Amino acid sequence: MSHYLKTIEQLRQYYDRDADGRDLREKSDWKIEERALFLKTLKSTNCYRILELGAGTGQDSLFFRENGLDVVATDLSPSMVEYCKSKGLTAYVMDFLSLDFPPQSFDALYAVNCLLHVPKMDLHRVLQALRTMLRADGLFYLGMYGGEDSEIVRSGDLGERLFVSYSEATMTHAVKQVFAIDYYNRIDFPADWPQCFHSMILRKQDAGAQVVA
User: How many structural domains does the chain have?
Assistant: 1
In a domain, 139, yes or no: yes
CATH assignment of the domain containing 11: 3.40.50.150
In a domain, 30, yes or no: yes
Question: Whole-structure pTM over 0.85, yes or no?
Answer: yes
DSSP 57: T
In a domain, 29, yes or no: yes
| CA distance readout (Å), 57 to 27, 61, 96 | 12, 9, 17
In a domain, 210, yes or no: no
DSSP calls for 109-135: EEEESSGGGS-GGGHHHHHHHHHHHEE
**70-75 and 90-93: which strand pairing?**
parallel
Q: Exposed e or buried b for every residue in 53-91, given b needs 16+ CB within 10 A?
A: bbbbbbbbbbbbbeeebebbbbbbbebbbbbbeeeebeb
Domain of 98, in residue numbers: 2-203
In a domain, 137, yes or no: yes
Whether the Cβ atoms of residue 81 and residue 91 lie closer than 8 Å to each other: yes
HSE-CB at 8 with a 13 A cutoff on CA atoms is: 17
Q: Give the integer Cα–Cα distance in Å for 86 and 84.
A: 5
| Interior angle at CA 57, CA 119 and CA 43, nearest 5 | 90
Q: Give the integer Cα–Cα distance in Å for 54 and 64.
A: 15
In a domain, 71, yes or no: yes
pLDDT tens-digit profile, the chain (213 residues): 468 999 999 999 999 999 988 888 889 999 999 999 999 999 999 999 999 999 999 999 999 999 999 999 999 999 999 999 999 999 999 999 999 999 999 999 999 999 999 999 999 999 999 999 999 999 999 999 999 999 999 998 889 999 999 999 999 999 999 999 999 999 999 877 789 999 999 999 864 444 343
